[in-house]
Amino acid sequence: MRALTVEEARERAATVQEPAYRLEFAFTGDEQTFATVSTIRFRATPGGSTWVDVKPAELRSVTLNGESLDVGRLAEGRFPLEALRAENELVVEASMAYSFDGEGMQRSVDAADDRVYLYGMSSLESAPRYFACFDQPDLKAPYTVAVTAPEDWIVLGNGAATRTAPGHWELAETKPLSTYFVTLVAGPYHQIQGEHDGIPLSLACRQSLAPALDRDAEDLFTVTGQAFDEYHRLFGYRYPFGEYHQVFVPDFNLGAMENPGCVTFTDRLVFRSAVTDAERSTRARIVVHEMAHMWFGDTVTMKWWNDLWLNESFAEYMAHRVSHDATDHPGHWTDFGFVRKWWGLQADQRSSTHPVAADAVKDARGSLDDFDGISYAKFGNADLGEFIAMLSAAGAENLPHWSEQWLRTSGVDTLRAERTATGIRLHRDRPDHAERPHQLTVAGYDEAGQATSVDVLLDQDQVDVALDPAVALVIPDAGDDTWAKIRLDADTLDRLPKVLLRIADGTTRAVIWNSLRDSVATADLDPRKALAILLEALPAEDSDIAIGSLLRWAEDRLIGVALPYEPYRGELANALTSRLSGAPAGSSLQLAVARGTIAMTGDVDLLRGWLAGTGVPAGLEIDTDLRWSLVLRLVRLGEFGAADVDAELTRDRSTEGVIHAARCRAALADGKEAAWARITAESGIGVNELFATCEGFWHPGQAEATAPYVERFFTDIAGTAELRFGMALQLATTRAFPRYAVEPRTIELAERLLADDNVAPSIRRTVADQSDDLRRAVRARRAFG
């Protein structure tokens, strides 16, 4: 179907004014479809023409100002509207298909009890999959909603919901909302109600997750209240959307969505098994991030998708700041360095890099492709110019110039330190002609890990820094204050293994590790040296955030990618086994190291023993999810087969168990063909089960079993655009990419696909990103043998 362009959006916004919606849903039909009636009242230019967006299973009737129109005129999700009046009423009746990819009206069946759960996801082209609308962010409108559903269901949405009769619900009129914020949640959800500062609150999830949500409700309500208090203090403007529901929904393909009044989260954030402190901190930050959108994104919304970064970067900053300042959870800025900034730096070095604030030239679907680490990290609409003007009016100086330097350019500068006879010379290497100034600190560390810091304004390509050149380590941007790649000098790299252990500041350690990880990726650092530093650092690293991030990098980008899988897997496994013996019993750190040990070890007796409950380190609980990790590793080692996976699923007959089993079955050496068929040909698979299948399929220890599928990826992946949509298509393509096939041949196959204009743009964009990473891995292997 055609994607909306910015020119079309502007044209429609000039024709249509002041829309208002009445939506009626009936969820009492079959398992495939539901009925909707969308009534839209709007003003328009008399005599003008436009279209309404709707993507039905069956369009039953369209009535404009009392006149029935030919439903056969629907084409590519657009129904034309002509001879408009000053005041108009449009009524669209349709049968709509339930979604299975997490967008539109998602229908999921819980494997634990066969209960059905629904939720609406409207973001970026998804709203017309469950109601007719003018689907663009600048045509905000109030909504009223009516729902008919089974009598044992509850209904939640953007407006306060009232049950008017058994199985019948009315939702109060909302404030003006963009279509992509509209949601509706319906099903036999477990709901916990609360209140904070006069704001009605609730939490909800599947019934099978009720015990886990009940355990965590106090923490979630506390974080919510703390964040509300801080946002009210910061903004001086109270939360405007009435009730505030937080619903943990199944088969959600993102982390969360900021629907006003009814935020939806992936129900993976309801923890049924033990998790690390880092994971609890991350969940708190997601809660705070989505709440920030209630002001920036929901109250004030961008006019077009090119300014989506305004929403996300603001919420990302506020999430870390408010979580640090107001909540009881630790480690937020450490997470920013190790996780979020690392994500953005990778995105900014791929061929798909783009300015933070791009020009409004892409269509809506193309703008979705830019929803990445660069974008992140009054009831009306605004654009970048208006945002800069408001900040300038509030007293900010020279923002237009700063905006051109930092927001209208792409790519990332490299900062490196050179030791001279009298001090340190800091260099700025630019990938383009943009003049991006950097305000930062340069720190020198002695052998004991004690720092001397110098503040620096780097507004030219080199500047001298008054710092003793004899210090053990020289760390540019030690406070993680700017956006740049950092390169460490040879002396610093040589002394790093010993001194790194003594640096107390987690932020500085994150800067160092981002430099090492990026240097490996760009073939500036021998990956064997990076691994050696990691092995040296493991015994002393006490941050579960750092451990988790570094082990994910080692598993995804280092061992089996930049380095051959063997013998380096064994070296890391041995170091993790040693670190585990010294981790505090029952600690978050112990759990993080245990997960890494399971993923890397080749010790079958250890894995089988832990499953049987023998030899388990004191304080470590082998709970349901950790059991599945053990099963997965035994499958990958060839020690477990399909019967063992089935036996574990018998123990865990939950939706989560089904997802874990899908990952394990895809990891079976003799299960690859069945898994590949699910990835490339099955349309009804839920997104979490799909993602798990992709994740289980490829592994560097199974190169022989997966070799026939490397070329098949490039011939088969294009067809998946007929099976799934939006983020589900992107994320499945990412996970299904053969990233462990580190060979020039894989890059050749990727380039052939990228040259085929018949392949969906989002697939080509994703393959381009993944092949960029693969190209760098090939370069690293060549550079260092």
Distance of CA 694 to the CA centre of its chain: 17
- Note whether 522 and 775 are within 8 A (CB): no
What's the half-sphere exposure (Cβ side, CA atoms, 13 Å) at 199? 23
Cβ-Cβ contacts under 8 Å for 22 (sequence gap 6 or more): 38, 39, 40, 143, 144, 145, 146
In angstroms, the CA 252 to CA 615 distance is 37
How far apart are the C-alpha atoms of 744 and 669, rounded to whole Å?
A: 25
- Exposure letters 149-161 (e unless 16+ CB within 10 A, then b): beeebbbbbbbbb
Token pair, residue 437, equals 């100034």
Tell me if 316 sits within 8 A of 288, measured CB to CB: no
Tell me whether residue 631 is exposed, middle or buried, using C-beta atoms within 10 angstroms of its C-beta: 0 to 12, 13 to 18, 19 or more: buried
Identify the burial level of 716 via C-beta atoms within 10 angstroms of its C-beta, where 0-12 means exposed, 13-18 middle and 19 or more buried: middle
Taking the C-alpha atoms of residue 408 and residue 73, their distance in angstroms, rounded to an integer, is 41
- Amino acid occupying residue 383: D
For residues 386 and 138, the answer to whether their CB atoms sit within 8 Å is no
Please give the Cα distance from 279 to 305 (Å, whole number). 30
DSSP 8-state code for residue 337: I
Q: What is the Cα–Cα distance from 506 to 502, expressed in whole angstroms?
A: 11
354, 307 in Cβ contact below 8 A?
no
What is the rounded distance in angstroms from the CA atom of residue 205 to the CA atom of residue 266? 10
End-to-end CA distance of the chain: 47
Cβ proximity of 487 and 416 under 8 Å: yes
Alpha helices in 490-623 (DSSP H): 490-500, 506-521, 527-537, 544-553, 568-582, 588-600, 604-612
Q: What is the DSSP string of 127-173?
A: GGGTS-B--STT--B-EEEEEE--TT-EEEESS-EEEEETTEEEEPP
Sort strands 300-302 and 380-382 into parallel, antiparallel or unpaired: parallel
151 catalytically annotated: no
> d(Cα 259, Cα 182) in Å, to the nearest integer?
6
Query: What DSSP string describes 242-310?
Result: S-EEEEEESS-SSSEE--TTEEEEEGGGS-SS---HHHHHHHHHHHHHHHHTTTBTTTEEESSGGGHHH
Compute the distance between CA of residue 236 and CA of residue 244 in angstroms, rounded to an integer.
Answer: 19
Sign for the pseudo-dihedral over CA of 68, 73, 74, 80: negative
Distance CA 451, CA 443 (A): 6
Residue matched to tokens 């203090």: 233
The DSSP 8-state label assigned to residue 377 in this structure reads: -
CB 181 within 8 A of CB 160: no
Query: What distance in Å separates the CA atoms of residue 762 and residue 187, rounded to the nearest whole number?
Result: 32
Q: Which one from 125, 230, 243, 290 is the annotated catalytic residue?
A: 290
Cis peptide before 539 (omega within 30 of 0): no
Which residues belong to the active site? 290
